[in-house]
Structure formats: C-alpha cells, structure tokens
Structure 1
C-alpha cells in the first residue's frame, strides 16, 4: 500500500481480528499510517517524501499475519508527522503555537525539546515541518479528533481481552531507521523494549528475543529503545496488563530511500509471523488461561 492524500481521514484507525475467544494479545501499530491530510501536506515546508521520514513504513504489513493467530491488530491510518500517538496527550511545544498553551500541557519533556512531541515540530531527521505557527484550536482539535478516540479504543480492546483471559499483552510495533544504530557495536535487526523489565513479564520479552534469534536475527533489549509512552502507560504487570515494544530495523525489509519493499520483505514478514505464533502459544500456556476454563 502506498501513501496517499485525503481531505478527511475517516476512519482514522482500524482494528482487525476482533472476535469472541481472542487470544491474550493485542498488537498495535501507531506510527505506520500513510494517509496524509491534504491541507497538512500543502502547507508544510517539506516535500511529501520528506514528510514520510517519520513513518514506521510497512510495519502494519509486517505484523498483519498475527490476526490469523486469533488476536486483534490495531493500526493508525493517519501519519505520525501529523499526530504522534506514542506520546502523552498534551506533550506540546509552545514555540509551535499562537497564544499560550493550557496549564496542563507538558512543555518540557525531552521529546518536546527534541521537536517530537504529540504534534511534532520536525520529522525524524530534525527537519522543520511547518512554515507557520499553528493556532491552539487547530492543535487541540487534532488531539480530540484523532488521539483521544484512538486511545479510548485501545483501552477498550485491552479491557476486553483481559476480561476474557485475566491478563492482556500489548505488543507495540515500530520500526527504526537503519542509521539509528550507527556507531553502535551491534547493528541490531530488532530491539525489544520492556522498560527494563517494568512494563512486561520476562516470560514475554524472553520469548520474543529467543524466537527472533532462532530465526537468525540480531536482537537487542532496551537499548537504544526501551519503549515509549504506550509501553510505559499501559504496561502494568501487577494488574495483569503487560506491554512490550518491538522495533524493526528498516534496512532488513525495505528500500528506505524510495519507500518500497525490498527483496527481503516477504521473508522478514514470514519470519515475524512464525516467531509471533510461537510466542503466542508459549504465553497462552505459561501466562494466561481463559477465565471460563480457569473457573
């Protein structure tokens, strides 16, 4: 699927694989959306290919096969450069807006300082997006229209799964530029983030690492990506809610310069599907059991 323009993005997200008897997992891809608001693109100082630098390109396709395992998969259809779902709802940069931000806005987080707040000031390579300051109303409207409904639906989905199993495991799916590990001793294919063990049972994180390594990939844990807002916010193992982030190196599955599948895409997708199938089976037997069966 290629990127496109639309006057209105409706629906703004979709959830596949919802049914009775779902497994104890929810897969989520908040950054792979590639339907761009036409006005946003027309008013940006960057060209369309440059705006796409922040996309987790094709991640929704890489993980799409999990629905065949009986678990739901949620994905945003709008782009991260327009609104970032992996942030607090009001991580906002006051330099981007006309007028004063509300007192509840978080204006000092490291993500805001770097230009990558809820409404990003820059794309992934630190290039400015906007030619003008946004009105406060415009910014808040994006949060009300896109951010809040998305997270409301995600919370409801996790609650539904946890109601069936007693636990729910959120797998937050992302990608990283091949250059992001430049200078590192290891050029990883995958990075698994569980907030250094605080957001997810080690049973899940260990299984993910083991299965991906068995498939021939180099896997790191928590460095340089330990998990963002979604992993931190939803990961509450003590309450039966687990969250883990997976970052996939774009260099192993796509042509990053031209936003195309590479010759390895099909193989990587198949390897992910097989690894996730084995992880799901392990977690079903080791962490969760349907409440009806348990009772």
Structure 2
C-alpha cells in the first residue's frame, strides 16, 4: 500500500506499451491498484490491512510479460475499494450517500445489493468501508475524473488493435480468494476463466487458454463461480471481432492473503504466466475476425 494525496496529482491509471505492438491482444488489470488517497483512508472505518481485502494484489506484475510479447498492459493505480471500473458507471447504493443520486443511477442491480457497486460499500467478507455517509458529489467526481477516462482509454486501445489486426482480444486479469464461497475447497481451481458462458469470446481462444494452463499443471474452471464482470460483458463482441476473456488467479498460488506478501511461489507463477502469455498471444486466425454481414 502507498498513501497518496489524491488522483489530481497522482496518476490514476496507465497503459504500459511495448516499443512495437505485435499482436491484437491487450491485457488489463483493473483491481491491482494499491495507491490509497489519505482522505479516503480517513473516511474509512477499516484499518489499512482490512481495507485491502478487495485488492487484486500484484496481478499487474504477474502479467508484466505481456510487453515482452508485444502486447500493451493497462493497470489501475487506484484501489478497487475506492472505485470499481468493472461495474456500470453508475451502479450506486443510495443508502451510502448524503444527497440525492442522479435519476439515471442503477440503484437496483445485484451488485449494488451485495455492496459491490461502482463505489463499493463493503470489502470482501462484508466489512463496511465508510464510517459515515459519503457525499454524492465525491462519488460522481470519482466517476467523471477516473472511471470515464479509464474506459475511454481502454476503448481507444482496443479500437486501435482492431483496426491494425482485424480483431482485438482483451484479457481482463484478476485474482480471487483461495477459499471460494459456494465451492468445495478441496477441489478449488487455480484459475477460473470467464467468457460470459460463451458470449464474450471466441470458443477456440477460450479452449486454447484452458489447454495451456492445464498443460502447465494447473486446475482450471470455466465460468464458475466467475463468468466475467462488466468489462468482459461490455467489451466482448465476438461477432464484431472483439473478444474479452476474464482470468481469475487463486491468490493462494502466490501470496500470503493475511500479510499481502509474495510467497516463494511468486516467481514460479510469473514464469508460468510468461509461458501462458507467449502461447495465448500466438493463437488467432480468421475465426476471431468479425463475421461478415449477411446479404440482404
């Protein structure tokens, strides 16, 4: 964790790009940010350790090999507990705020009901973040100043990939707790790949990703319990040559979930994910391009 003044003077997110973009893939790490504004921490009822429960720690580092293989990597510096760009822009819980939300806010989504909207009410394990009501204007400023520029940048890069290569592939990179609610923990997966049940990504690419990870010795599940969030659903349009695949990594593979420290297995996972990135970026072909429009 790094404490910062704000995201006016601090860079909220960045795209790290290779000297030459050599493939249609883009990697995105929207939840690995660990720079916490001092005012946000002051408004929270949680200590610095507990507020990190939702953080996908080190995921951007795990996928840093994307650059080696000619793919850009986008990463958030702001934490998920502060703002979640893997949500609709206005999934907001009115009970959290002092003041009236705009009429277009989505206040009834399942994610809002669970406390994990665009501005989250809780971190993992259902711990309330804020000591008191948050000003509505503060929430809307986070969306205007960070959320919207984040997605504008992501769209621009994917459009560039699509124009250059004829199709684009977004790998949305996340981590998950080692103990997953609703699953038999004796058989918990190392990875969960989410393609919104076949709607966000070409099947050949997902099949290839599963095969690569299993060949490296990992247990892989598909869509359960994580089928992909807003980013996967929103950007995945296989019929238009736009593919989005969510990758969830079991945190127990590489970190101590209590102390937020890398374990001795961290470097091994970095090497294995380097092999994964090398092989998946080599996949492709005409089957991932936009389908031609039917004749009238």
**TM-score strictly above 0.5:** yes
Query: What is the CA–CA distance in structure 2 between the aligned matches of 1:30 and 1:21, rounded to whole Å?
Result: 21
SS in 2 for 1:54: coil
Do the aligned residues in 1 keep the contact of 2:212 with 2:276 (CA within 8 Å)? Answer: yes
Do the aligned residues in 2 keep the contact of 1:23 with 1:284 (CA within 8 Å)? Answer: no
Matching residue of 1:210: 211
Query: What is the CA–CA distance in structure 2 between the aligned matches of 1:8 and 1:133, rounded to whole Å?
Result: 20
Query: What is the CA–CA distance in structure 2 between the aligned matches of 1:19 and 1:150, rounded to whole Å?
Result: 22
Taking structure 1 as the reference length, what is the TM-score of the superposition?
Answer: 0.94
Deviation at 1:181, TM superposition (A): 5.0
Matching residue of 2:93: 93
SS in 1 for 2:46: coil
Query: What is the CA–CA distance in structure 2 between the aligned matches of 1:48 and 1:176, rounded to whole Å?
Result: 19
Residue deviations 1:55-107 (CA, integer Å, cap 9, x gap)? 00110011111110001000000000000010000000000011221111000
Matching residue of 1:180: 180
Query: What is the CA–CA distance in structure 2 between the aligned matches of 1:41 and 1:233, rounded to whole Å?
Result: 31
Matching residue of 2:103: 103
Do the aligned residues in 1 keep the contact of 2:18 with 2:68 (CA within 8 Å)? Answer: no
Gaps of 5+ in 2: 290-296
Do the aligned residues in 1 keep the contact of 2:5 with 2:37 (CA within 8 Å)? Answer: yes
Higher deviation after alignment, 17-26 or 190-199: 17-26
Do the aligned residues in 2 keep the contact of 1:181 with 1:188 (CA within 8 Å)? Answer: no
Matching residue of 1:83: 83
Do the aligned residues in 1 keep the contact of 2:169 with 2:242 (CA within 8 Å)? Answer: yes
Matching residue of 2:293: none
Query: What is the CA–CA distance in structure 1 between the aligned matches of 2:133 and 2:105, rounded to whole Å?
Result: 17
Moved over 6 A (4+): none
Residue 266 in 1 paired to residue 264 in 2? no
Deviation at 1:287, TM superposition (A): 3.7
Deviation at 1:284, TM superposition (A): 5.6
Deviation at 1:248, TM superposition (A): 0.1
Residue 231 in 1 paired to residue 251 in 2? no
Higher deviation after alignment, 3-12 or 180-189: 180-189
Matching residue of 1:6: 4
Do the aligned residues in 1 keep the contact of 2:162 with 2:168 (CA within 8 Å)? Answer: yes
**RMSD (Å), alpha carbons:** 1.5
Matching residue of 1:283: 284
Gaps of 5+ in 1: 289-295
Number of residue pairs aligned between Structure 1 and Structure 2: 287
Do the aligned residues in 2 keep the contact of 1:99 with 1:136 (CA within 8 Å)? Answer: yes
Matching residue of 1:153: 153
Deviation at 1:109, TM superposition (A): 0.5
Taking structure 2 as the reference length, what is the TM-score of the superposition?
Answer: 0.94
Alignment of 1:43-122 (within 5 A): 43-122=43-122
Query: What is the CA–CA distance in structure 2 between the aligned matches of 1:142 and 1:218, rounded to whole Å?
Result: 38
Deviation at 1:22, TM superposition (A): 3.3
Do the aligned residues in 1 keep the contact of 2:196 with 2:232 (CA within 8 Å)? Answer: yes
Query: What is the CA–CA distance in structure 2 between the aligned matches of 1:213 and 1:261, rounded to whole Å?
Result: 23
Query: What is the CA–CA distance in structure 2 between the aligned matches of 1:179 and 1:140, rounded to whole Å?
Result: 34
Higher deviation after alignment, 14-23 or 67-76: 14-23
Query: What is the CA–CA distance in structure 1 between the aligned matches of 2:176 and 2:161, rounded to whole Å?
Result: 29
Residue 28 in 1 paired to residue 28 in 2? yes
Query: What is the CA–CA distance in structure 2 between the aligned matches of 1:197 and 1:277, rounded to whole Å?
Result: 23
SS in 2 for 1:104: coil
Higher deviation after alignment, 113-122 or 14-23: 14-23
Do the aligned residues in 2 keep the contact of 1:22 with 1:161 (CA within 8 Å)? Answer: no
